[in-house]
Chains A and B, each alone.
Chain A
């Protein structure tokens, strides 16, 4: 299948459903059902469900551009989470509910928890579905929320890879916005992007955005049951990039970047949230370190090739 035939309609769907105004409305606690119904009707929620179970049977790597689009547009609903949850549920022979499903993997805030109907925990082979009972985080306009009493630690690798893919999509958009802003905004009689100090910052932003995309692709390459080193490399790399990208983007934008009516904050708040969700760079570094040290005597380059 030519993936572009899926990517283009999905991009149009998101552009229609998730305009910045619609994203803000959901973040402010507005009714998200029309937006969600649009995703349900599109059929994309079953993109990762096996073909014999009625889905499109895409691999996670195939679906990476679709998930990146969700990040790119700061879609405020758990579309990627639900895609993964529906695939795991179908494989386990459990019927999925129609509503938005989030994945809870620890005690921290669950991404999109505030707008979920159900929560997935358990393990990839034996997923457990519960109705969403969540507590607000109290963070301004947060779509994430706490869910307690669930054990979904075994879902952390796949959730981390999903978060990595979302970060990479948002990072690409932040890079483009920031570069074009630097070309438009004029100070001292010329675009700020002509200032070498600004150019050097933007080059670092670009390096990090490319690194995030490659890191996310490493995570996606081993599918819905990601190999632990792949998940670790992916979430470590994207989390590291997320914080740096957000910082540079805001620095270059000046004051307007932190204003509510400017779209940059929709993306950078998400970058920070996804960085902290399902294990930060420090958590995954620890995981990878353990894996590495469990193979004494192996040179780094050999470990990387086998990893």
Chain B
């Protein structure tokens, strides 16, 4: 079972992009304190994202004819690894680059590709994902937001999305909505629509989280009129498209690196205080060893994407294991530091520790909860 996941080396041409990319990243994070860098993929900096786009680091798998780099998921692995391990602020382009771009490329019309993709590749069109609703979290097929087909071929949109990451900063939302039938029809009758967030009838209210950040929001649609070309892919095929999209969302190296800025800050602390006892060495080694295996697993999943597969089960397996590790990091480092009460801990490290500690529950919620992912794995095992 899962025998297709094997050690896979990054091609040399992808490794080769690291130095230039590093220089760009170093400039962007130079002024950022560690606790800001620990925010990484919720850190928002539109000008940095545009710089990445100009330098050709976005839309890596998109063909050159649409402004992309025509490279492989391995290239994206390298770029994401560099960005996240440095704690660069990637939120502005994150969703467009990871999901919306590939989605539009696969399912969009030629006009839609021409219209959106070049700007996504430049880091100029920012996207968010409207899947969750107040009544539809894990049970995504129960969404109620509705788009009624209009006589001119357009759509009339009503309803509400919630937890929409970056809605306040985004140009567009790709929303999963009901275009026919009722909630009882479940996966049938759902479609994906690209919603221009500047249209009349849309209200966006930021939601503040327990760390004081407002990375997600509620989005209300009140008789929003959409043109016919808002539909992406086929009417009624929304569920199938979303499933393909989630394989992209779940498989990247972002599922192992959310706590790495904290690990590095802690290791620097150990170096500074000169702590070298065996318990400390074991903890450093244990976290490093686990990450080494997770990184190879993540690369193995990336290799399946390169091979043109949609590794839904493998990505779920990887994400569940990876986020479990990410969540263990603040717990273990917290215990380590507080087990040495006479050792001074820099306030910046403490802020970073508490930030990661507080936000860690989200690692196994965003992109599908632990229980839902394990259900997908169980189906892959032939149990359901």
A interface residues with partner B (beta carbon < 8 Å):
172, 175-176, 179, 182-183, 193-194, 196, 198-200, 202-204, 206-207, 209-211, 213-215, 217-218, 221, 229, 232-233, 236-237, 240, 281-282, 284-293, 296-297, 299-304, 307
Contact = CB atoms under 8 A, between A and B. Distances in A.
Given A217-B7, A292-B284, A304 B295 contact: yes
Nearest to A303: B288
Given A282-B282, A289-B288, A304-B288, A214 B296 contact: yes
B384 interface: yes
A185 to B, nearest CB: 12
Nearest to A175: B1
Interface residues of B, number: 51
B293 interface: yes
B85 A286 contact: no
B320 A210 contact: no
Given A196-B375, A210-B2, A217-B7, A293 B281 contact: yes
Nearest to B15: A305
B284 A293 contact: yes
B285 A210 contact: no
A230 B289 CA distance: 9
Contact of A299 (B1, B264, B276, B283): B264
Given A206-B317, A207-B321, A233-B293, A286 B282 contact: yes
Contact of B288 (A196, A217, A292): A292
A285 B296 contact: no
Interface of B: 1-2, 5-7, 81, 85-86, 257, 260, 263-264, 267-268, 270-271, 276, 278, 280-297, 300, 317, 320-321, 371, 373-375, 377-378, 380-384
7 contacts: A183-B383, A199-B381, A202-B378, A213-B5, A289-B280, A301-B81, A304-B288
Nearest to B290: A237
A99 B293 CA distance: 36
Contacts of B285: 232, 236, 284-292
Nearest to A282: B282
B317 A199 contact: no
Interface centre among B270, B289, B295, B373, by most A CB within 10 Å? B289
Contact of B296 (A193, A203, A218, A240): A218
B315 to A, nearest CB: 12
Contacts of A232: 285, 289
B318 to A, nearest CB: 8
A197 B62 CA distance: 41
Given A199-B383, A300-B260, A218 B292 contact: yes
B345 to A, nearest CB: 18
Given A204-B374, A217-B7, A290-B281, A304 B291 contact: yes
B248 to A, nearest CB: 20
A173 B295 CA distance: 24
Contact of B297 (A175, A210, A284): A210
Contacts of A287: 285
Nearest to A217: B7
B264 A210 contact: no
B292 A202 contact: no
Contacts of A203: 317, 320, 373-375, 377-378, 381
B343 to A, nearest CB: 16
Given A207-B320, A214-B293, A293 B270 contact: yes
A199 B291 CA distance: 26
A304 B292 contact: yes
Contacts of B276: 293
Contacts of B373: 203
Nearest to B320: A207
Contacts of B260: 299-301
A297 B265 CA distance: 10
A301 B84 CA distance: 10
B284 A206 contact: no
B383 A172 contact: no
Contact of A194 (B282, B293, B383): B383
Contacts of B384: 194, 199
